[in-house]
A and B are shown apart, each in its own frame.
Chain A
């Protein structure tokens, strides 16, 4: 008897749904603007990674105006939630999707929608309708490290990091190498938070670093909590991802920031023209992909000049911070003199595969 009631209920619900559906108008067809969607792994206003992409999206909307219709989805988990989101975007007529985190793009989903163009940030999978994009943030992180080294009196610098993966390790190394240019013998102490974005954990990490004796803080995580703590302790701070100087106006030095907008515009225009091709794009300072945020009051003119000179050398290719001789924490020579680490080739001696820390970094590359 009970089962019958459940069935009746199910039918009733289905009928109600169908009724409502019949009242619903069908989706609009043939809208002329080119529909592009951006998918963020965090909130669009996280003050960090996702916000930088959101700024890119707004740049696109402004640059291309009524020719495009952009939207974003935030807090989308990797896996089935991403797939669901793509499915609904496809149903709504979106033709291009920027997936702004590694792990989103799988062969299954891209093969399911061969007519949609996918671009993934920080990944390596390529297909007829899939491109990858990222950039040499390590160069600007290196430059921001120079600011940190210059601001440090003791040479002891702290760096709050997320996960022990090559991307983060590479940035930590770049930061340390930069600090050692302006402050020879500087050490960078790491504390891992095991999260990309967790203000409470980041503050605790920052506190522990200061208690261990550092006098400058930097980070490769997405919230400005480290900076707020630095401000309260009157010590200098290097941020990451975006200009968060409002969180620490006196402590702020600079940060490596991403400038996704111009790349997005270029790719969307190519897609609209039919000239889009799959590929692996690795941006740099030169093409405006990464840059340093505006300096805070604590950066001296001499430091600014020195950073500017290194930036010029990086841009014209005469200097690369990941060129040998590079030693790891145990003192072993890993990259021979004159050899430059490549992005993808070289195994653990490539930028994308780096799993060791350079000399002067204190902490474990395993987390």
Chain B
């Protein structure tokens, strides 16, 4: 019996949806087996996960809080990976965006600007910070052909060191120096009230609070979708992603595209950082046990892959992932296995990757005795 894969010429729409959903279901099934084998009841665990993520009072709020940065990093990864530019540096770009966004907030807010102006400036500066950081691997890739995977990843560590340095190891602009508390333990300077990002409360289920960052992420998703689907930029980027050579022959300026896509991707990741400062921490969080422990940038990659690089799907998946992260915090403790979140995320990703096969290829199971496949078989 032989199993062969034949490339499909057309990829059925329903499959593009069924496969990611199916892979999540499959992943939970496999993870359930893992739980069972190690002595935990999968059904109760999963029920607890749903409870903690979406159903308990106030849990939706917490899920939205977790999902906001994930939506940005997921979009950042999707924007780049789609073009086969593997920007693993969203984590570091987020930190730099936090730094530049916080700077804008502290400086302009301190000068008494109107809230709208200050927040807009934070958004712009956060974006630019992430862009600048992403352009380092971008330039190295465009002009020096250096593998962007490694350069962007290594820069994550450097960005983390810089973030910690600004608060823990120096008397920088971002650091709070007034007051006794400040000398006891390093903290960031609090944002003036005009720089605090707003949130809107919907009066359902006890009040669901939607942070401004979440709405910004949705807007960014729309922009990215339009950019990739309806503009020449997007079309050229797609061609470049599919085939380097074809793009060059058709006049696409490869270097510029690389820089532009990295800049876009990095900027979106930078927004994740600005949102962290503006929406949640209201100061620059340089604590190595703070923002740097959460790995939002890396989770974004999982989200993008599962969403098959579609911006809207990325936002939805980010929401679900936010729920999973939230539930993980709720459930962990003496009874819930640590490391399970990473295991589940990994299995989801593996399943999604495996499922890709079904989308791209048709599986043929032929009985032995058929002529050996030599490429002469027609593909239907």
**Residue in A closest to B331 when the chains form the complex, CB atoms:** A88
- The residues of A that contact B265 with a CB separation of less than 8 Å are none
Cβ contact within 8 Å between A77 and B17: no
Is A367 among interface residues, defined by CB-CB distance under 8 A? Answer: yes
Cβ contact within 8 Å between B65 and A83: yes
Cβ contact within 8 Å between A78 and B289: yes
A-B contact pairs, 17 of them (CB 8 A): A2-B312, A6-B312, A6-B316, A24-B50, A74-B333, A75-B338, A84-B62, A84-B65, A88-B62, A91-B58, A92-B330, A164-B168, A165-B168, A166-B184, A194-B169, A344-B180, A352-B180
Is A103 among interface residues, defined by CB-CB distance under 8 A? Answer: yes
Question: 0/1 per residue, A336-352, Cβ < 8 Å to B?
Answer: 00000000100110001
Is A101 among interface residues, defined by CB-CB distance under 8 A? Answer: yes
Q: How far is the CB of B327 from chain A (nearest CB, A)?
A: 9
Is B66 among interface residues, defined by CB-CB distance under 8 A? Answer: yes
Given contacts A77-B294, A81-B294, contact A5 B55 (CB under 8 A): no
Partner of A80, one of B54, B183, B280: B280
Cβ contact within 8 Å between A348 and B183: yes
Instruction: A43 to B339: give the CA distance in the assembly, Å.
Output: 12
Given contacts A6-B313, A85-B329, A164-B169, contact A78 B285 (CB under 8 A): yes
Total number of residue pairs linking A and B with CB closer than 8 Å: 147
The winner among A84, A102, A124 for most chain B CB atoms within 10 A is A84
Cβ contact within 8 Å between B289 and A87: no
Instruction: A103 to B289: give the CA distance in the assembly, Å.
Output: 9
Question: 0/1 per residue, B303-336, Cβ < 8 Å to A?
Answer: 0000000101100100010000010011011100
Cβ contact within 8 Å between A124 and B55: no
The 4 closest A-B pairs by CB, nearest first: A88-B330, A77-B293, A78-B290, A21-B55
Q: How far is the CB of B339 from chain A (nearest CB, A)?
A: 10
Cβ contact within 8 Å between B329 and A81: yes
Q: Which A positions have Cβ atoms within 8 angstroms of B?
A: 1-3, 5-6, 9-10, 13, 17, 20-21, 23-24, 27, 41, 43, 71-81, 83-85, 87-88, 90-92, 101-103, 122-125, 163-167, 194-196, 344, 347-348, 352-353, 355, 366-367
Cβ contact within 8 Å between A73 and B333: yes
- The residues of B that contact A83 with a CB separation of less than 8 Å are 62, 65, 280
Given contacts A75-B293, A85-B329, A88-B56, contact A352 B184 (CB under 8 A): yes
Q: A74-B338, A165-B185, A196-B289 are in contact. List 10 more A-B contacts (CB 8 A).
A: A20-B50, A78-B289, A79-B281, A79-B291, A83-B280, A88-B56, A91-B59, A103-B185, A103-B187, A353-B183
- The residues of A that contact B52 with a CB separation of less than 8 Å are 88
- The residues of B that contact A78 with a CB separation of less than 8 Å are 285, 287, 289-290
- The residues of A that contact B290 with a CB separation of less than 8 Å are 77-79, 103
**Residue in A closest to B287 when the chains form the complex, CB atoms:** A78
Q: How far is the CB of A354 from chain B (nearest CB, A)?
A: 9
Interface size in chain B (residues, C-beta < 8 A): 51
**Residue in B closest to A38 when the chains form the complex, CB atoms:** B333
Instruction: A163 to B170: give the CA distance in the assembly, Å.
Output: 11
Instruction: A84 to B56: give the CA distance in the assembly, Å.
Output: 12
Instruction: A2 to B208: give the CA distance in the assembly, Å.
Output: 28
Is B42 among interface residues, defined by CB-CB distance under 8 A? Answer: no
Is B138 among interface residues, defined by CB-CB distance under 8 A? Answer: no
Is B130 among interface residues, defined by CB-CB distance under 8 A? Answer: no
Is B61 among interface residues, defined by CB-CB distance under 8 A? Answer: yes
- The residues of B that contact A87 with a CB separation of less than 8 Å are 58-59, 61-62
Partner of B329, one of A13, A17, A73: A73
Cβ contact within 8 Å between B17 and A9: yes
Instruction: A232 to B184: give the CA distance in the assembly, Å.
Output: 37
Instruction: A20 to B53: give the CA distance in the assembly, Å.
Output: 12
Is B164 among interface residues, defined by CB-CB distance under 8 A? Answer: yes
Partner of A23, one of B21, B47, B294: B47
Partner of B185, one of A20, A74, A84, A123: A123
Cβ contact within 8 Å between B51 and A21: yes
- The residues of B that contact A163 with a CB separation of less than 8 Å are 168-169, 186
Q: How far is the CB of B218 from chain A (nearest CB, A)?
A: 12
- The residues of B that contact A165 with a CB separation of less than 8 Å are 168, 184-186
Instruction: A122 to B287: give the CA distance in the assembly, Å.
Output: 15
Cβ contact within 8 Å between B333 and A79: no
Given contacts A78-B287, A80-B280, A195-B288, contact A27 B293 (CB under 8 A): no
Cβ contact within 8 Å between A124 and B181: yes
